Amino acid sequence: MSSARVDYIAPWWTYWLHNFPHINLRFQPADNSFQPGDENYQQSLMFLGCVAAAGLGLNLLCLAVYLSCLCCCRKDEEEESKKPNSCCVTWSAVAAGLITCVAVGVGFYGNSETNDGVYQLTYSLYNANHTLGGVDSLVTGTMGNMKSSLHQHLARLDEIFATRGDYVQTLQFMQQMADNVIKQLLGLPDWEEAKVDLASIADQTASIEYYRWFTYLLLLILDLIICLLACLGLAKQSRWLLTTMMVFGVLTLVLSWTSLGADLATAVGTSDFCVSPDKYVMSQTKGIISADIVHYYIYCNQTLSNPFQQVGNVTLQTEPSRRR
């Protein structure tokens, strides 16, 4: 097998979102490193939601101005002067419908890609939980076997070869090696102290993602239906249908801008984590697992010294020298 290490490279769009301006609610720049417990970082994500809220307000203001001008500035015009205005309104509606359809298409694509990404995340969490569970089971089983079976066999061999001094010395050395291995196993980090159940997190993430995906799917379908009915109302020149679609359109506009703000804040926060996940993992495991162990298994660099093997080599080198 090839021993070459494949470096972690985040996708290009994560760097693009990571470079978004991080500004807190006091309009001061904040650090763009992933720090969900930091107040300034939380405010920087909330600021992105406020930007979306400002966009919603501006959009509603423009719509209100347009409707006011349409209702209040209506004059008695001749039939020739009405045709150009009607043509302008029709083409404006067609352009707005095309833009809406393109936006909905992008929304369907983004919703599908997000669902695939969350599925890969939950799969990785299940895989990591299985690996950690296997490590705990292996360590527990090994310690149990060495404390019971190995010690019993060594004690039995010590009784059999009690008259042979060289054999007794070898058995004592084996006993010391077994004790050193047990000490090494006891020095392994206790994953239960981390108080993180990856399987439970994966289950919650999958459940939330299902409802998120279904909700966004319904919202996008609702946008399409409103757009199609609005075009039908223009074609039929139905004032009742256009008024109804206007009301539902405003409601959908509010939902769309709200979801955009939430998605933008979530995407920026996720990108901050994906650009440099090792720093966050190191900070979360500080005081629970040794920094050398976390650093060794996060970076998977063969040039780094194994923290367990290094201690074992020192132990094995000192014992034979004592025998000589």
Tens-digit pLDDT profile for the chain (324 aa)? 344 445 667 778 888 888 888 888 888 888 888 888 888 888 889 998 899 899 888 888 887 887 777 666 555 444 444 445 556 666 766 777 788 788 888 888 888 888 888 898 898 888 888 877 777 777 777 777 776 766 666 676 666 666 666 666 777 777 777 777 777 666 665 555 555 677 888 888 899 989 989 998 998 888 888 888 877 777 676 777 777 877 888 888 888 888 888 888 988 988 888 888 878 877 777 776 777 777 777 777 667 777 766 544 444 433 433 333
In a domain, 162, yes or no: yes
Tell me the CA distances in angstroms from 194 to 107, 132, 200, 260, one per residue in order. 38, 12, 14, 34
In a domain, 228, yes or no: no
In a domain, 277, yes or no: no
In a domain, 190, yes or no: yes
d(CA 124, CA 8): 15
- Residues 111, 217 contacting (CB under 8 angstroms): yes
d(CA 17, CA 274): 11
In a domain, 133, yes or no: yes
d(CA 48, CA 20): 10
Structural domain range at position 188: 107-213
Beta bridge partners of residue 23, listed in sequence order? 29
Helix (H, G, I), strand (E, B) or coil at 23: strand
Enter the tokens of residue 112.
């599908």
The model scores a pTM over 0.85: no
Q: Give me the number of domains the chain comprises.
A: 1
- Interhelix angle 307-323/165-186, rounded to 10 degrees, is 160
In a domain, 43, yes or no: no
d(CA 104, CA 110): 10
In a domain, 238, yes or no: no
In a domain, 309, yes or no: no
Q: What per-residue confidence (pLDDT) applies to 214?
A: 92
